[in-house]
Structure 1
Amino acid sequence: MSRGAVPTAAELAGVFAADGVLIYAIDDQDLTIADLWPGHPSSGKLTLQVGFGVTGLVARTKEPVLLDADSPRNPLHRQLLGLEPKETVARMCLPLFGLEDRIVGVLAVHRSPQRPFGPGDVETARPYVAVLGLGLHAEQLWRAVNHHRTERDRLIKQAISAQEAERRRIAFDLHDGVTTALASMSFHLSAADLTVSEVAAHTTGTGQAQDLERARAELVSARTLADLAYNQTRAAISGLHSLVLDDLGLVAAIESLAQMVAREDGPAVDLVVDPAADLEDIPDHAAAALYRIAQETLANAVKHADAERIVLSLRRVGDSIVFGCADDGKGFDTGLRRVVRTAGVDGAQHFGLSSVAERCAMIEASLRIESVSGRGTTVLVELPL
């Protein structure tokens, strides 16, 4: 056993020339076996209560107990100690302390009553008990961290899924309600324009004809506004929810974003996807977050960078997915930007970058922004899977 290493039950059995060793860990008000020697198939079934029995008493009082002849009543406990009916055993039960003198477990060593334990054995056990207690505490803390991390991941997944579900609901409501009403309005305005035009064609009075022409001009303006509202609502629906993401996945959804920018007479947008990258194992909530990040970074490059060319990329690097957005626009001073945002000045203009940072934090992705004034901006997001 190396110096400072956490001892195993088998190693401790050799140290004390014991017939068996049981290492208990405290879980709330119960003692469960963390390690034992010799092994037993039913060891995972034994649970002792803190405060009851010799082992539970040590866990409650935090004081060592030495017994020359003990005979536990729990049948499973007797099996683990290898005891026949009415057979006794010498036992040494020592409390295990973690950080800040927190009791985290109990070390129970047993051997023949002909070789009882004494103060010398307690002294011999002192360094092993200290390391073993810290090891148990570290393991408990690690399990707690993993539990909280798992719970956090579950809540984040639910939150993102709920956000996407709400976006989907609003998009469908807009599609079925507002866009339908706007399309109908445009149709009726066109019909009214046609009616007014027909009436004007059969009107002989100059004053009445002028009135009808003014009315027709108002109808044309109203129809133009209705068409504009319809198109803007359609764009909002596309921004709220991507059917392509649902049906065809992340790559197709980002490609759809790039094509939409090109259709709107924006800068040239290229999407580069590593053909060897396996992107099928991205969880749905993470894919949705990456899509929103791509949406935000692309919008920033189009609206604020004055870029002529934007390159979006997706690639696999080890166990991570890396998304990139690079443009040849005007860029900015990242140091000055941090000062400006810290001072609370001009914050609204850069809300998109804040949104990207928040989404990265939610899915535990790293974010790196590289930019130089006059030389473009590169945003890199690395998501560990």
Structure 2
Amino acid sequence: MPLFWRIFQLNAVVLVAATALLLGPVTVSTPVLLTEAAVLTVGLAAMLVANALLLRVGLAPLKRLARAMATTDLLRPGARPAVGGHGEGAELIATFNTMLDRLEAERATSAARALTAQEDERHRIAQELHDEIGQTLTAVLLDLKRVAKQAPEPVRGHLYDVQETTRASLDEIRRIARRLRPGVLEELGLTSALNSLTTEFTSSSLSVRRQVASDLPSLGDNTELVLYRVAQESLTNTARHAGATRVDLTLEHTPDAVELRVRDNGRGIDGTTEGSGIQGMRERALLIGASLTLGPTPDGGTQVRLTVPTRHRSQ
């Protein structure tokens, strides 16, 4: 039972008992006069209504606090419940707001450490794929080419097939390494990296159209990496799960913000549970103080929007 009704019932028991006493042994008239009973009944009803209103006003801060506690999500920072009233209720709301501030700061710090470690690990794996496995497969290709020239005709055809399979595997490993470590982002910048990314996802079944502003403001390495990773994850989700035939990637800017939008014409995300990929995008957005929204499009697809404030940005 809610706290409001528990307190109201306790007060009602006291008031009803007091009224009963007035109508019984404490009454000034015996027998009870009809006018006295009417006055006491009306008075009791008035006191109960006043009690309910006062309790509703007094417990309103706690109700706001309970609603805020039920809807708080550290991946979606929102407004804090207003500190109203006096006494323990206001103190409790202020303490809750302070706790949220501390939790969000601690989560942002831990997310930054985790994402930095993740990027370092991706860099290491990509380097090993390129230096170790890539070079090994390149040597295998050269050996196959030499052996195929010396092999008899029936065997030569099989060796050529193995050579093509090995070459395809080498290309796939290089593609994976590029996704793990976007070297084009470090060398040529965000615009070239997004152009390369959309070209990589374009296929016979998926058309990726891009519109990237050429006069983007200076964003910093961390911000550019977050924008690239969100675009990469959005395109990956579209290619794997959306069943879309068209994706539009747009990167625009205003005097105060840079906005990335990835919009597809797939089946949408209504009713689906957010996976680790979307949660990772939200954590990356929090890392640079950006806001991330996902929602349906008018034609039933999905739109991912990342808005990065640029005013006074230092990283």
Task: Report the TM-score when normalising by structure 1.
Answer: 0.49
Shift in alpha-carbon separation, 1:154–1:250, aligned structure 2, 3 A: farther
Q: Tell me: CA distance 1:234–1:253, structure 2 relative to 1, closer, same or farther (3 Å).
A: same
Secondary structure of the residue aligned to 1:173 is helix
Q: Secondary structure at the match of 2:186?
A: helix
Q: Give the SS at the match of 2:275.
A: helix
Query: Residues 133-212 of structure 1: matches in 2 within 5 Å?
Result: 142-196=97-151, 212=152
Structure 2 Cα separation of the partners of residues 220 and 185 of structure 1: 12
State the percentage of identical aligned residues: 23
Which residue pairs with 1:368 in the alignment?
A: 294
Contact 2:234–2:304 at 8 Å: present in 1 too?
no
Asked if the contact 2:244–2:267 (Cα under 8 Å) also holds between the matched residues in 1, the reply is: no
Number of residue pairs the alignment of both structures matches? 222
Q: Secondary structure at the match of 1:379?
A: strand
In the other structure, the counterpart of 2:18 is none
Residue 68 of structure 2 corresponds to: none
Higher share in strand: 1
Structure 2 counterpart of 1:367, one-letter code: T
Amino acid in the other structure paired with 1:382: L
Shift of residue 307, structure 1, vs aligned partner: 5.0
The separation in 2 between residues aligned to 1:137 and 1:168, in whole angstroms, is: 46
CA distance in 2, matches of 1:300, 1:152: 25
**Cα drift, residue 228 of structure 1:** 1.3
Question: CA separation of 1:222/1:276 partners in 2, compared to 1, >3 Å: closer, same or farther?
Answer: closer
Separation in 1, partners of 2:157, 2:214: 55
Q: Residue in 2 aligned with 1:242? A: 182
The aligned residue for residue 209 of structure 2 is 270
1-structure distance, mates of 2:268, 2:104: 36
Contact 2:263 2:301 in 1 (8 A): yes
Q: For the Cα contact (< 8 Å) 1:326–1:377, is it kept in 2?
A: yes
* Letter of the 1:237 counterpart: A
Secondary structure of 2:267 counterpart: coil
Does residue 164 of structure 2 align to residue 224 of structure 1? yes
Distance 1:304 1:136, change over 3 A: closer
Between the aligned partners of 1:143 and 1:235, the Cα distance in structure 2 is 46
Structure 1 residue 357 displacement after superposition:
1.9
Separation in 1 of the partners of 2:297 and 2:93? 42
Residue matched to 1:357: 278
**Residue type of the alignment partner of 2:139:** S
The answer to whether the Cα contact below 8 Å between 1:269 and 1:309 also exists between their aligned partners in 2 is yes
- Asked which structure has the greater CA Rg, the reply is 1
**Residues 115-161 of structure 1 deviation map (CA, whole Å, 9 limit, x = unaligned):** xxxxxxxxxxxxxxx94887777666545443332222111111111
Residue type at the aligned position of 1:149: E
What root-mean-square deviation, in Å, do the aligned CA atoms of Structure 1 and Structure 2 show? Answer: 3.4
Separation of aligned partners in 2, 1:315 and 1:173: 36
CA 1:157–1:333 in 2, change beyond 3 Å: closer, same or farther? closer
- Which residue number in structure 1 is paired with residue 236 of structure 2? 299
**Contact persistence 1:266–1:302 (CA under 8 A):** no
Q: What SS is found at the alignment partner of 2:198?
A: helix
Q: Does 1:326 align with 2:263?
A: yes
Q: Deviations over 1:235-294 (max 9, x none)?
A: 1111211012233443332222023335x666443322346653x34661x543432221
**Residue segments in structure 1 that go unaligned for 5+ positions in a row:** 1-98, 101-129, 197-211, 343-352
The runs of 5 or more residues in structure 2 that have no matched partner are 1-60, 63-84, 310-315
**Correspondence 1:378 to 2:312:** no
Cα pair 1:293 1:356 within 8 Å, conserved:
no
Q: Distance in 2 between matches of 1:150 and 1:236?
A: 34
What displacement does 1:318 show? 7.5
TM-score normalised to the size of structure 2? Answer: 0.58
Deviation at 1:300, TM superposition (A): 3.8
Asked whether the 8 Å contact 1:332–1:371 carries over to 2, the reply is: no
Please identify which structure carries the higher helix content: 2
Residues 283/178 of structure 1: CA separation in 2 closer, same or farther (3 Å cut): closer
Matched to 1:379, the amino acid is Q
| C-alpha displacement of 1:312 | 0.4
